Amino acid sequence: MPPQPIWTELQQRRYLKSSAPWRGCTYLLGGALLGAATLVVGLALTAVGAALTLVLIGIPLLTALPLTGIPLAALERRRMLLVDPTPAPTPHRTPEAPGIPAWCRLRLREQATWRELAYAVLFALVLWPLDLLVLACTVAFPVLLVAAPAHLAAAGGPGNDIRPAKLWLVDAYPAACATALLGLVLLLLLAHPLGAYSAARAAFARLLLAPRDAELAAGLAEVTRSRARLVDAFEAERRRIERDLHDGAQQRLVALTMSLGLARLDADPDSPLARQLAAAHDEAGRVLTELRELIRGIHPQVLADYGLSAAIEDVADRCALPVETAGVRLPRLPETVESAGYFAVREALANVGKHSGATRVHLTAAHTEGRLRIVVRDDGRGGADPARGTGLTGLADRLAVLDGTLAVTSPPGGPTILSVEIPCEAETEAEAEMEAGA
Amino acid sequence: MLLREGLIGVLGRFGHETVAAVGDADALRDAVSAYEPDIVVTDVRMPPGFQDEGLRAAVALRAERPRLPVLVLSQYVQRSYAAELLDTGDGTGVGYLLKDRVGQVEQFVEGLVSVAEGGTVVDPEVVRQLLRRRRDPLEKLTPREREVLALVAEGKSNAAVAGELVVSEAAVGKHIGNILGKLDLPPADGTHRRVLAVLAYLRG
């Protein structure tokens, strides 16, 4: 059984048999030693800094003094796990730029740094003596009583006077054994206050050293931002690849087919050369067609030129099944939203074509109340499982970066309804009848 | 660049003269003013942005000079591009072709000449997409009539359609009459008027 928080153990009958009293004792002992060390180091640093201020080197040293709470706090966060194994992550953020100056600037601005410093000061001046005092009362004192017989033996046996814990005179084994028994009872009785104090002590440390809600949220926001940056980078890369293929390979291939076409004109129509030229010409044409489809799959130019409405119509045109779109009229939306919406529609229609057995697809897309909503509904056999296959999961991940959602309902027997929602603001007013064919 | 050189070569091979070859939309506008060419051929994408500057330039040119024939080449077929082009001028003297088609040099030059003479040439791929879209009303047509419709929409004359389908010209005329009737289109004379009517129907 993994260790429970001491506070939980305290409320159970088997507290004395559990590891909790031992852990509490270790925690306080460590606190007393570490606190004493902190006091010495802190005083030394302050003294050196103050002395060197006269020659100016001390000023940066004193400025760095608030940061000394940070390593101590890191150590304390690990130590408090002895009392309560609930993880205590660091409240600090990762600096955006490398290097010590950036790190220092960020740390000095963070509230957590100053809480940690406050803890360090309290620790060095108040908490460790308190830890030591509690240890002395609840552990050292009863242990001294328990040790009375051994103490007496060490002092030369009966007839010699000893004073266990400086309290009373003991000069015979019966009295020494009675003292030891008293010590044992006290040790067991005081184990509860010991546990309670260490639990309270660790809770106080946690209060100052663990991240606050706002700091956790800031960390989460940072993760979301970095994911968004990643998606943007992918998007930019796709566009670059598309452009490179379009401006490079495709142009060359078109030029090649032209040369082959001209060569065919010059060749004697019945010669073997003409036949080979014709084969080469056709092959080049097929490569060109394949390349065109490949480029379209990477990043459709129509998305950049005309926006999501036209791009959706375009995918619908290409779908093997009839797609009723009822005319999509969307304003221009942020690039990442348009791209995510486009790939969502493409994935949805591809799935319908592959798995559903549907004969018709109905697609609606609208931008209302600051949300883009796309719904794809088919009349297929249903039973689609979003967990199966990477297409829909990838889509959900992509949408999650934009705070969007993907919902699929697909009861056996159909219909399957896939809906996508992305919060976003329009960049232009909804277009008028832009495309007569829509 | 490469493509431009190739195109000049192809046109020269068929006895057409290229009066100017330019690299961006501004230069295109200046060249049109300077040379008053019989036809402008442009790519949809052009420097500096490589978005749809070429198409924008073509549409702008047509707005200024509705009689200027323009042939636009596109990396891939996009109905929106075709629609925007056909809406310039009265839709005559316009061409929209997939860039791949220039490899079929003879057909390409044929199309180019047709546009220069005021015809309308739309890539078969566009027509295929449009046909796929307007499924319901087209169900009234027989398979043969649908074939004829596709060819008509591409700007083929009755004789050319007859040649392609290996039937007599009279039969083609009859099919076209039936198609126009079934789709409630006004009977039109002249190849490009008919093409426009069919395209307008398919787009609407």
B75:A310 CB<8 A: no
| CA distance to partner chain A, nearest, from residue B150 (Å) | 16
Give the pLDDT score at A135: 92
Burial A249-283 (b: 16+ CB within 10 A, else e): ebbebbbbbbbbbbbbeebeeeeeebeebbeebee
DSSP B125-177: HHHHHHHHH-HHHHTTS-HHHHHHHHHHHTT--HHHHHHHHTS-HHHHHHHHH
pLDDT band for B190, please (50, 70, 90 cuts).
low
> Which residues from chain A sit within 8 angstroms of residue B79, using beta carbons?
310, 313-314, 317, 435, 437
B51:A305 CB<8 A: yes
For residue A57, the tally of other CB atoms under 10 A from its CB is: 12
B80: CB partners within 8 A, 6+ apart = A302, A305, A306, A310, A313, A314, A434, A435, A437
Residue B191 has pLDDT above 50, yes or no: yes
Which residue, A76, A113, A27, is CA-closest to A206?
Answer: A76
Which of A239, A245, A253, A254 would best serve as a mutation to test chain B binding (most B beta carbons within 10 A)?
Answer: A254
Residue B38 is encoded by which pair of tokens? 């019989």
Cα distances (angstroms) measured from residue A216 to each of A75, A86, A106, A221: 20, 15, 16, 9
B78: CB partners within 8 A, 6+ apart = A301, A302, A305, A306, A310, A314
Please tell me whether residue B87 adopts helix, strand or coil conformation: coil
pLDDT band for B133, please (50, 70, 90 cuts).
low
Q: Which of A84-93, A176-185, A211-220, A367-376 has the lowest mean pLDDT?
A: A211-220
For residue A177, the tally of other CB atoms under 10 A from its CB is: 14
> Which residues from chain B sit within 8 angstroms of residue A313, using beta carbons?
79-80
Which residue, A187, A145, A142, A205, is CA-closest to A21?
Answer: A187
B123: CB partners within 8 A, 6+ apart = B74, B77, B82, B96, B97, B98, B101, B154
Which residue, A424, A410, A417, A220, is CA-closest to A340?
Answer: A424
Q: How much of chain B, in percent, has pLDDT values that exceed 70?
A: 89
Give the pLDDT score at A433: 40
Q: Do you find a cis peptide bond into A415, omega within 30 degrees of 0? A: yes
What span, in angstroms and rounded, lies between the C-alpha atoms of B160 and A426?
48
What CATH architecture does domain A305-438 belong to? Answer: 2-Layer Sandwich (3.30)
Which residue, A434, A415, A245, is CA-closest to A328?
Answer: A434
B50: CB partners within 8 A, 6+ apart = A243, A246, A247
What span, in angstroms and rounded, lies between the C-alpha atoms of A435 and A1?
68
> Which residues from chain A sit within 8 angstroms of residue B7, using beta carbons?
258
What span, in angstroms and rounded, lies between the C-alpha atoms of A198 and A250?
73
Which residue, A353, A322, A343, is CA-closest to A394?
Answer: A343
Please name the amino acid found at residue A210: A
Structure confidence by residue, pLDDT tens digits, B84-123: 888 887 778 888 898 888 888 888 998 899 889 888 888 8
Give the pLDDT score at A185: 92
Helix/strand number for chain A, H first, E second: 17, 5
Residue A430 has pLDDT above 60, yes or no: no
Structure confidence by residue, pLDDT tens digits, A226-274: 877 887 888 888 888 888 888 888 888 888 998 898 898 888 888 899 9
Give the pLDDT score at A34: 93
Structure confidence by residue, pLDDT tens digits, A377-428: 888 887 776 666 667 777 888 888 888 888 888 888 778 888 899 988 887 7
Please name the amino acid found at residue A163: R
Structure confidence by residue, pLDDT tens digits, A79-115: 988 888 888 888 888 777 788 888 888 888 888 888 9
pLDDT band for A434, please (50, 70, 90 cuts).
very low
Which residue, B192, B31, B14, B161, is CA-closest to B102?
Answer: B14
Start-to-end CA span in chain B (Å): 37
Strand-strand pairing, A405-409 and A416-423: antiparallel
Kindly state the average pLDDT of the residues A171-186: 87
Q: Report ipTM (2 d.p.).
A: 0.77
Contact residues, chain B to chain A, C-beta under 8 Å: 1-3, 5-7, 9-10, 13, 44-45, 50-52, 75-76, 78-80, 83, 87, 98-100, 102-106, 129-130, 132-133, 135, 202-204
Burial of A301 (0-12, 13-18, 19+ CB in 10 A): buried
| CA distance to partner chain A, nearest, from residue B129 (Å) | 6
Mean residue pLDDT across chain A = 84
Structure confidence by residue, pLDDT tens digits, B1-51: 678 888 888 888 888 888 988 888 889 989 999 988 999 999 888 877 777
Residue A7 has pLDDT above 90, yes or no: no
Residue found by looking up tokens 């219909």 in the block: A415
Residue found by looking up tokens 């009265």 in the block: B90
Residue B137 has pLDDT above 70, yes or no: no
Residue A49 is encoded by which pair of tokens? 């800094």
pLDDT band for B128, please (50, 70, 90 cuts).
confident
Structure confidence by residue, pLDDT tens digits, A308-330: 888 888 888 778 788 888 777 88
Structure confidence by residue, pLDDT tens digits, B37-76: 999 999 888 877 777 888 889 999 998 888 899 999 987 7
E runs forming strands in A27-130: none
A68: CB partners within 8 A, 6+ apart = A41, A42, A45, A117, A120
Which residues, listed in sequence order, are joined to residue A364 by a DSSP beta bridge? Answer: A375
**pTM reported for the whole predicted model:** 0.58
Mean residue pLDDT across chain B = 82
Please name the amino acid found at residue A306: Y
pLDDT band for A198, please (50, 70, 90 cuts).
very high
What span, in angstroms and rounded, lies between the C-alpha atoms of B118 and B115?
5
A133: CB partners within 8 A, 6+ apart = none
Which residues, listed in sequence order, are joined to residue A135 by a DSSP beta bridge? Answer: none
**How many beta-carbon pairs below 8 A join chains A and B?**
109
Q: In what helix (H) or strand (E) does residue A421 lie, and over which residues does it extend?
A: strand A416-423
Give the pLDDT score at A35: 92
Give the pLDDT score at B127: 80
Cα distances (angstroms) measured from residue B14 to each of A285, B9, B11, B94, B106: 21, 9, 5, 21, 9
C-beta separation of B100 from B134 below 8 A: no
Which residue, B79, B187, B191, is CA-closest to B131?
Answer: B79
Give the pLDDT score at A437: 37
Structure confidence by residue, pLDDT tens digits, A115-140: 999 999 999 999 999 999 999 999 99
Which residues, listed in sequence order, are joined to residue A323 by a DSSP beta bridge? Answer: A361
- If you average pLDDT over each of A175-189, A342-356, B150-164, which comes out highest? A175-189
pLDDT band for A197, please (50, 70, 90 cuts).
very high
B95: CB partners within 8 A, 6+ apart = B69, B70, B71, B72, B111, B112, B114, B115, B119, B120, B121, B122
